[in-house]
Amino acid sequence: MILKSKGATVDILAGANLVGNAVLVSVINTNTVPALIANSNGNDIWIAAGERVVIQKEFDETLIATAPDAGAPTEVFATPVAYLA
């Protein structure tokens, strides 16, 4: 898979973010525990520790990461991307 960066990386554990108004977002959980990624459209997805996924969303939807227990994850990064191949 080839991804093209379309904007700045943000930490979505720090708060809800539009992630550059992107429709494709690469999300990586850099922690040793799973992280729950909530979309403002009401859909959630769990990302395992150390995993990266690409999430499709509408440009006006926000993503926010939450920890299964307080203080577990420290950073969950999201980058707006385009899929090339």
Q: Checking DSSP bridges between strand 24-29 and strand 3-5, what pairing results, if any?
A: unpaired
* pTM of the full structure: 0.89
Contact of 48 with 36, CB cutoff 8 Å? no
Residue extents of the structural domains in the chain: 3-83
pLDDT tens, position by position, 32-62: 888 999 999 999 999 998 999 999 999 999 9
Which CATH number is associated with domain 3-83? 2.60.120.10
